[in-house]
Structure 1
């Protein structure tokens, strides 16, 4: 893994070549990226499988509520085996698909943390409070720094969800 964290000059947006502004990067072989993603998918499949076992089944002999997440878990497991076998074959054979470069890797990790934290926030603070704080934090993470656009984006999205889901579709979010 190679990381660079050179001093970053301020980006003025005036590049004529369409290039991205300088940012810290991390580069890894694509096969290691495949393995990390496959393990993450396998963890999600295991979570689906275990959670499916806790669902009540009122279907008798028919397809029940637990069958769908169990089937998804099986398909994810098969997909994971395919990804892992390809990555391990390339690693042991010496070939490579190239390098994966992640720009602004700290921002990417914080974004992942925000995604994982959202269900917890929603359970403890309700949809609207959690979504307002979460979306504002995500916008700041994406370099939207001026307060007026953040307020407009968050307010517009919350209004949209209120109108569409609660009023039009009758789905309670709070």
Structure 2
């Protein structure tokens, strides 16, 4: 059973790897970037419902025995015109791992802040990330009995797909099975 739980939690960590998220805490939206700034500049909120739907489909396609999969939380990512990117993630994955007659509830929260540098890639719909660092949210308790969720490291990821419009941004790492849809 521990292997099943470990697989499910590892899958949850993988799901978080393909998208950056943060709690949407701002009360006022950021002003629109200047007309000459790249479209990506500004603050974006994660579309958690879209990310959850993709995540559930991915987990089920892996054949992981999970029922009642759900993802809640919020995410925010900010790109500045001078090449900085910062994100706050606070997502919780819940469900029930089913292994024969055994059912184990799953409730895994991942909350942290990350930051690094970004630059426009060789294609205008891509970005390159470097110098990434993560800090876990110290207010989120860690269950010592649960398998560890690996930290997400976006250091030196070239060519992240990042098509952008005035209101939507889609981020997807190379070969990542999921994308993260953001709105502002």
TM-score range, shorter chain: under 0.3
Structure showing greater Rg: 1
When the two structures are superposed, what TM-score results if normalisation uses the length of structure 2?
A: 0.21
Bigger share in strand = 2
